[in-house]
Amino acid sequence: MRVLVAHNRYQVRGGEDAAVARDLAALERAGCAVEAVCLDNGAIDSGLARLRAAFAATHAPEGIARVMAAVRRFAPDVVHVHNFFPLLSPGIHAAARAAGCATVQTLHNYRLICPGAFLMRDGAPCEVCVTGSPYQAVRFACYRGSRIGSLAVARMVDRHRRAGTWRRDVDRFVALTPFARERFVAAGFPADKIRIRPNGLPDPGEPPGGPRSGLLYVGRLSPEKGVPVLAEAAARAGIRVTAIGEGPLAGVLADHPGLDLRGALAPDAVQAAMARAAAVVVPSLWYEGLPMVVAEAFAAGTPVVASRIGALASLVSEGATGLLAEPGDAADLAAALARIAGDPAAAAAMGRAARTVYEREWREDVTTRALLEIYRDAVAARAADASLSPTGT
């Protein structure tokens, strides 16, 4: 299998960039011939550059040309697109299809159906653009608080929705969770082309034995992550939660009695902290795509206390691999934190169950096999379409 991966890196490295890097390494270990074309948003370094990139996002000819040069040289079976915004654009799929390649698009976030990418507005879930006009995002300045930027992204969403790009030019989509798949199907994406495959995670090894203690938060210190709610809940429960991460709320929460802020730590230190914790807390207020902190916690044999919202409600099984609390409800979250802290034996049992789920669903070899099956499926679909076309393209 020859795989060309196309990805538009973010200015600040995040979970999507890390997931792409893990997939590349895993595919090489699986024996695939792999090449990557990565565009970098670091080049968008001025207001004018941002404006130009936003309005070129509907069809970015320079980025597409870079990928297609690699297609001609490398001759892949599959072109797998991750983030395409704004330097690559959805137009890459039509170009790759015209060259005879199967195409795959991973749905890391909701950019294809929501100009803001997160299905969230004013601190709460929002789905008005899922079945309605994406230009509603202009009114609310959903893209980075800018109406001009929101207009550019809404134009991209609308143009490719009307052109049939997602039905015609993509052979298979990869949704990270069943919840995400449902949202895209509701937006009109072809259900028969969407496969569910979570991001993989290399096995850190068997979790250490011995007693666990303390509760841990790992992630960005920002409102949509529910960190203020967590701080209030911890204070109510008389518990101090260790928080690893940085973000705009760091200064505001620095002296909060419910949190012990540690800042950003190296990955091995985060992994060690997870392996010592009684539970990891994910109090998000928005529809998370697939927060890898859940997979990392499960791999460490650590249960998760999460908000009952979006994909989190199915990723964490109540009473089996962790506990769920109503999003934004500090009292409900405080009760869940107290349950974990007050019953170490039950928490340990949930941690063992969480480790079993990781081995079955998120271990790298499992997710790589699933991805290769999606590639084979896409190649077969592309060949079938080509055989029905009078021109063979």
Q: Which domains does the chain have, with CATH numbers?
A: 2-200+364-388 (3.40.50.2000), 215-362 (3.40.50.2000)
What crossing angle do the helices spanning 344-357 and 330-342 adopt, rounded to 10°? 100
Answer yes or no: is pLDDT of 392 > 70: no
Please say whether the beta carbons of 296 and 271 come within 8 A. Answer: yes
**pLDDT-derived band at 390, boundaries 50, 70, 90:** low
For 60-87, what is each residue's pLDDT tens digit? 999 999 999 999 999 999 999 999 988 8
For 18-46, what is each residue's pLDDT tens digit? 999 999 999 999 999 999 999 987 777 77
What is the Cα–Cα distance from 120 to 345, expressed in whole angstroms? 37
**pLDDT-derived band at 11, boundaries 50, 70, 90:** low
pLDDT at 385: 86
Structure tokens at 221: 């210190």
Structure tokens at 289: 């795509």
What is the Cα–Cα distance from 267 to 264, expressed in whole angstroms? 9
Spell out a b/e string for 54-90, using b for 16 or more CB atoms within 10 Å of the CB, else e.
Answer: bbbbbbbeebbebbbebbeeeebbbbbbbbbbbbbbb
Which residue's entry shows tokens 């992994």? 271
For 311-346, what is each residue's pLDDT tens digit? 999 999 999 999 999 999 999 999 999 999 999 999
**β-strand pairing of 33-40 with 2-9:** parallel
Secondary structure element (H or E) that encloses residue 65, with its range: helix 61-74
- Single out the residue of 189, 256, 261 nearest to residue 219, CA to CA: 261
Secondary structure element (H or E) that encloses residue 20, with its range: helix 15-29
Q: Cα 16 vs. chain centroid, distance in angstroms?
A: 6
Structure tokens at 62: 């320079």
pLDDT at 36: 97
Answer yes or no: is pLDDT of 274 > 70: yes
- Percent of the chain's residues with pLDDT above 70: 97
